Amino acid sequence: MSTESNALTFSAVFLAKYPPGDARIAQLAAQAKKFHSLGLVHDLGGNLSFRTRLGFIISGTGVSLDALTQGTVAEVTGVVYGLNKTSVYIKGAVVPSRETILHSQIYEELPEINAIFHLHDKRLMSQAEKLGVPVTANERPAGSSELAQEAINLLKTNKSLRFFVLKGRGVIFMGTSLDEAGRLAEQEGGKQR
């Protein structure tokens, strides 16, 4: 059993404390509720994001996806890697998901990707290898730069990959739009039900 901490691996620097304004947040919230009802996420697990003009909007840390609202997301406008800790610059009233570094690095690696859904579909995670779903080589601590690097290592070998399993951490679904990532999550997650 893991003894890892739930502490953030970055410092949140608030540029503004008001919730981000983007019409797509309502669409993200509707998809989050659907994923929760389908059993693709449980309790406080999972995080969702989409690209914006300034960076990306991501669900807040400690937020249940079935309760996602405009007030429970943050817009990440910059990530600066420091010697001791990474700084994440945000607009919003909540601290972004602890998987912010993972989302940031995927967006940087794959500029055509505009939505990332990190879900915890336990069935797909446990049957991934049997189903031929790519899995990262190593399990790494949640929210760590090492976890993000595992994802990037896998994506560098196949840039057309649109979903894969983070070993022991969940399933990543990506798309050029919220709709595309959502359909993929429903289709692939739904196969297991």
Query: How confident is the model over 88-131, as pLDDT tens digits?
Result: 999 999 999 999 999 999 999 999 999 999 998 888 899 998 99
pTM of the model: 0.93
- Confidence (pLDDT) at 191: 63
- Confidence (pLDDT) at 193: 47
Any idea which architecture 10-190 has in CATH? Answer: 3-Layer(aba) Sandwich (3.40)
Mean pLDDT of 130-159: 94
Domain range list for the chain: 10-190
Take residue 105 and report the two structure tokens written for it. 């690095």
- Confidence (pLDDT) at 113: 98
Take residue 93 and report the two structure tokens written for it. 């009233």
